[in-house]
């Protein structure tokens, strides 16, 4: 009579089951000591530079605003928002002020704080590139007007003699460098500058004469230390600016030149 | 003889069972932590345990917190005696486009007990094809590049940084 308990198949199956049990026990023991979650990068998707250029000359020329009890500045109520110009802004969503003028009299500017009324429109909040006004329960967005260069449009980067004045940069030039990144390194040479083990900025080692980069005002020996109020102490901060350059309308670069900080401002059109 | 064969068969079964039950996802998470210590982060990936191997889909590789590459899929097969990592459809960040074409079709890294001192690497992409090895004893890596036409035409400055061989290939040697 054939006894199944004596069968070699049962023996093999039992041995295999024992192996399975041992391997499962080992894997459970390993699992106990291993991490349950992976690493995910925390991306800063909203690269919004804390910088907005304000035309201080207009501020100085403007008549001082009287602090009335109603904290309003009135210039009549018949003005349409399309007749208004936003010439400068400073602050964030709930605090700060804007500089506005009417198209009919561009030189006559007024400074309006958040909460104040201009031509019947109440300033509700300030954005990075505009301001929101309200009137009769409706919201109106007024975008900032960037100064015109007055030069031939083909001259995409306008050289400015006054180094402190903003320089005009054409967006098409930025797109050109985006499409031809190798051209960047032909026009400019930059190397990292370290203070001990820590990155302290990026040194301009060469600028090709006559190139678009040359017209930006950067000089050999400049050390770029900040861009849009972000300290360039890591490659990440530099690449964040590079990645988000299409979203920017203004770039402010601070360089160390002859042991002095120098600010270079570019307005992108 | 039969006993030896039985022993080998049980050992093989043990290895395969261990491979199957091993918490591969968790081992991968441990690897991610080790990579993070070297400022390399793999993010946004879908991790799939396929039984004997691990598959990663749609992963982004960040180096020094900078997005460096997107990889469509990675197959990791670790059997001890034969280990392979295959990557498909890699797109490097646009910043790298000044150095080499950003599209890499296929990268395979293999380590076999038959060649215990070397980890071999093969890659095909817009740059042409690369084959090479890393010697674990001498701690150096040698890569041989057969450049594509576009590499020869547009990325001459990169090729100038490599040693040109008499047969038109380029060699890159690096210690690690």
What pLDDT does residue A75 have?
A: 45
What average pLDDT does the segment B28-38 reach? 91
Q: Which residue of A has its CA nearest to B156?
A: A182
Specify which residues B49 forms β-bridges with.
B54
What pLDDT score was predicted for residue A27? 92
Judging contacts by C-beta atoms under 8 Å, the chain A residues touching residue B41 are: 39-41
Question: Which residues in chain B are contacts of A236 at CB distance < 8 A?
Answer: 64-66
Query: Looking at the partner chain, which of A15, A34, A185 has a beta carbon nearest the beta carbon of B29?
Result: A34
What does the alpha-carbon distance between residue A117 and residue A254 come to, in Å, rounded to a whole number?
36
| 3-state helix vs strand vs coil in chain A, percent to 5 | 25, 35, 40
DSSP codes joined into one string, B6-47: HHHHHHHHHHHHHHHHS-HHHHHHHHHHHHHHTTEEEESPEE
> In B, residues 67-106, which contact A (CB 8 Å cutoff)?
67, 94-95, 97-98
Cβ of B44 within 8 Å of Cβ of A40? The answer is yes
The predicted model gives B100-117 an average pLDDT of 93
The pLDDT of residue A29 is 93
Chain B nearest CA to A113, separation (Å): 39
CB hemisphere CA count around B140 (13 angstroms): 8
Contact A133, A120 (CB under 8 A): no
Question: What is the predicted pLDDT for the residue at A94?
Answer: 72
Please answer whether residues A253 and A155 qualify as being in contact, where contact means their C-beta atoms are separated by less than 8 angstroms. Answer: no
pLDDT attached to residue A243:
76
Given an 8 Å threshold on Cβ–Cβ distance, is B65 in contact with A34? Answer: no
Interface pTM, i.e. ipTM: 0.75
Q: Which one is the CATH code of A56-143: 3.50.50.60, 3.60.15.10, 2.40.40.20, 2.30.30.830?
A: 2.30.30.830
Provide the CB-side half-sphere exposure for A100 (13 A, CA).
31
Using the Cβ of B57 and the Cβ atoms of chain A, whether some distance falls under 8 Å is answered with no
Find the residue in A nearest to B98 (Cα): A182
Instruction: Determine whether the interchain pair A34/B22 forms a contact, defined as Cβ–Cβ distance below 8 Å.
Output: no
Task: Determine the distance in angstroms separating the CA of B106 from the nearest CA of chain A, rounded to an integer.
Answer: 24
> CA of A27: which chain B residue's CA is closest?
B22
Contacts of A227 (CB under 8 A, 6+ apart): A237, A238, A241, A251, A252, A253, A254
Chain A residue with minimum CA distance to B155: A182
Give just the sign of the alpha carbon dihedral A115, A121, A125, A126.
Answer: negative
The residue ranges of DSSP E strands in chain A, in sequence order, are 84-91, 96-102, 105-113, 117-118, 121-126, 130-135, 138-143, 167-169, 188-195, 198-207, 223-227, 230-231, 250-257, 260-268
Give the residue, B136 or A50, on which the prediction is more confident. Answer: B136
Q: What is the pLDDT of residue B147?
A: 93
Which residues face B132 on adjacent strands?
B121, B143
Are B40 and B62 in contact by the 8 Å Cβ rule? The answer is yes
Best CA proximity match to A128, nearest among A148, A112, A116, A143: A143
- Would you state the pLDDT for residue A105? 74
**CA B151 vs CA A88, A220, A265, B105, B171: distances in Å:** 48, 31, 37, 15, 14
Specify burial of residue A131 (Cβ count, 10 A radius: 0-12, 13-18, 19+).
buried
Mutation choice for B interface testing from A34, A245, A246 by most B CBs within 10 A: A34
pLDDT of B48 reads 93
Look at residue B159 and give its three-state secondary structure.
helix
**Which sequence spans correspond to the domains of chain A?**
4-33, 56-143, 167-268
Q: Do B36 and A39 touch (CB under 8 A)?
A: yes
- Beta carbons within 10 angstroms of residue A164's beta carbon: 9
Q: Which residues of A touch B (CB under 8 A)?
A: 15-16, 19-20, 22-24, 26-27, 30-31, 34-41, 178, 181-182, 184-185, 234-236, 239, 242-243
Distance from CA of B165 to the nearest CA of A (A): 25
Strand A223-227 to A230-231 pairing? antiparallel
pLDDT at position A12 is 87
Residue A201 C-alpha, separation from nearest chain B C-alpha, in angstroms = 16
Helices A8-33 and B24-37: crossing angle, nearest 10°? 30
Residues of chain A falling short of pLDDT 50: 47, 50, 62-77, 148-162
B62 to chain A: which residues are within 8 Å by CB?
Answer: 41
Q: What is the pLDDT of residue A43?
A: 64
Average pLDDT over residues B4-16: 91
pLDDT of residue B5: 92
Q: Answer yes or no: is pLDDT of B91 > 90.
A: yes
Please choose, from the candidates A204, A261, A200, A256, the residue with its C-alpha nearest in 3D space to the C-alpha of residue A233: A200
Element (H, E) at B113: none
Contacts of residue A96, defined as CB under 8 A and 6 or more positions apart, other chains included, come to: A89, A90, A113, A114, A126
A178: part of which helix (H) or strand (E)? helix A171-179
Hey, are the CB atoms on A235 and B27 less than 8 Å from each other? Answer: no
Q: Which helix (H) or strand (E) holds A170?
A: none
Please name which of B73, B98, B83, B145 lies closest in space to residue A188, comparing C-alpha atoms.
B98
Instruction: Report the sign of the C-alpha dihedral through residues B114, B116, B117, B122, in that order.
Output: positive
CB A87, CB A145: distance < 8 Å: yes
What is the fold, at CATH topology level, of the domain defined by A167-268? Pdz3 Domain (2.30.42)
Most confident stretch, A60-74, A193-207, B82-96, B108-122 = B108-122
Residue percentage of chain B with pLDDT more than 70: 100
Instruction: Indicate yes or no: CB of B64 within 8 angstroms of CB of A15.
Output: no
Give which of B3, B16, B28, B29 to mutate to test A binding, by max A Cβ within 10 Å. B29
Higher-pLDDT residue of A128, B153 = B153
* pLDDT value of position B157: 79
Q: 3-state DSSP call for residue A23?
A: helix
Q: Which residues contact B31 (CB under 8 A, 6 or more apart)?
A: none
CB within 8 Å: B95 and A242: yes
Point out which residues pair with A142 in neighbouring strands: A131
A113 and A156 in contact (C-beta within 8 Å)? no
Point out the least confidently predicted range of A244-258, B70-84, B114-128.
A244-258
């Amino acid at each position: 009579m054939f006894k199944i308990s004596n069968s070699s198949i049962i023996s093999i199956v039992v041995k295999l089951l024992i192996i399975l049990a041992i391997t499962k026990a080992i894997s459970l023991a390993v699992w106990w000591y291993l991490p349950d979650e992976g690493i995910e990068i925390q991306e800063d998707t909203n690269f919004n530079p804390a910088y907005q250029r304000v035309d201080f000359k207009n501020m100085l020329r403007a008549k001082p605003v009287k602090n009335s009890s109603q904290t309003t500045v009135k210039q009549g109520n018949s003005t349409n928002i399309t007749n208004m110009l936003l010439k400068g802004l400073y602050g964030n969503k709930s605090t700060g002020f804007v500089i506005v003028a009417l198209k009919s009299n561009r030189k006559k500017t007024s400074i309006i704080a958040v909460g104040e009324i201009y031509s019947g429109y109440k300033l509700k909040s300030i954005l990075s590139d505009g301001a929101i006004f309200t009137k009769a329960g409706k919201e109106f967005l007024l975008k900032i007007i960037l100064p015109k260069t007055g030069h031939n449009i083909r001259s995409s980067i306008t050289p400015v003699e006054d180094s402190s004045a903003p320089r005009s940069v054409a967006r098409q030039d930025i797109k050109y460098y985006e499409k031809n990144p190798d051209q960047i390194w032909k026009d400019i040479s930059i190397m990292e500058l370290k203070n001990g083990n820590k990155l302290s900025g990026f040194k301009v080692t060469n600028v090709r004469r006559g190139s678009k980069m040359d017209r930006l005002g950067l000089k050999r020996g400049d050390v770029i230390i900040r861009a849009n109020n972000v300290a360039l102490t890591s490659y990440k901060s530099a690449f964040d600016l590079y990645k988000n350059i299409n979203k920017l309308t203004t770039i402010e670069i601070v360089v160390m030149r002859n042991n002095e900080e120098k600010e270079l401002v570019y307005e992108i059109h | 003889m039969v006993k030896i064969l039985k022993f080998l068969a049980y050992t093989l079964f043990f290895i395969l069972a261990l491979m199957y039950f091993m918490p591969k996802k968790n081992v991968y998470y441990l690897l991610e932590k080790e990579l993070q210590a070297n400022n390399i982060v793999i993010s946004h990936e879908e991790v799939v345990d396929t039984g004997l191997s691990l598959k990663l889909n749609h992963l982004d590789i960040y180096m020094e917190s900078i997005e460096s590459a997107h990889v469509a899929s990675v197959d990791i097969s670790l059997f001890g005696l034969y280990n392979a990592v295959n990557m498909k459809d890699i797109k490097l960040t646009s910043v790298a486009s000044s150095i080499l074409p950003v599209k890499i079709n296929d990268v395979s890294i293999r380590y076999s007990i038959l060649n215990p001192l070397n980890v071999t690497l093969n890659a095909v992409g817009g740059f042409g094809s690369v084959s090479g090895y890393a010697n674990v004893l001498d701690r150096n890596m040698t890569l041989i590049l057969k450049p594509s036409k576009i590499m020869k035409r547009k990325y001459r400055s990169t090729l100038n940084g490599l040693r040109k061989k008499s047969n038109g290939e380029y060699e890159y040697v690096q210690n690690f």
